[in-house]
A = this chain, B = another copy of it.
């Protein structure tokens, strides 16, 4: 249940686009990378894949950039993870057993399983758009930058 960095960056930047972009207002990789504090060449690669997966949209050229269209906004967080890491990573046995189910459970199966189901459900049922709404209404952090500046020495 620990995501790759790629997936983390993907979720953050997609939510960032959900909040700040639109068909009329596209945003460049560079701006997004700086906002969420992520290496921009890496994010560029990632975005290519997200575009192919129809998680986000893009247009090239002047005033081009990345944005979310109507249907992008209806995708969910699990779609993003699936597109980058694949779902096996999330569904696989916590201890890595090849076969682990209620018939042949690993030692932690009945501890982990209920959580997994529940949390995956939450990531599946809430759309990116709905997340974005909560982000702007309630205030959520969308950057890897330090936000509480340390006191100067």
- A residues at B contact (CB < 8 Å): 1-3, 5, 8, 11-12, 15, 77, 89, 94-100, 104-109, 111-112, 115, 118-119, 122-123, 131, 134-135, 140-148
Given contacts A77-B108, A135-B107, contact A89 B2 (CB under 8 A): yes
Q: Is the CB of B119 within 8 A of A118?
A: no
Task: Specify which of B77, B104, B112 is in contact with A141 (CB 8 Å cutoff).
Answer: B104
| Stoichiometry (number of copies) | 2
Q: Is the interface of A mostly helix, strand, loop or mixed?
A: loop
In the assembly, what is the distance between CA of A106 and CA of B104, in Å?
A: 36
Residues of B within 8 A of A141 (CB): 97, 99-100, 104-107
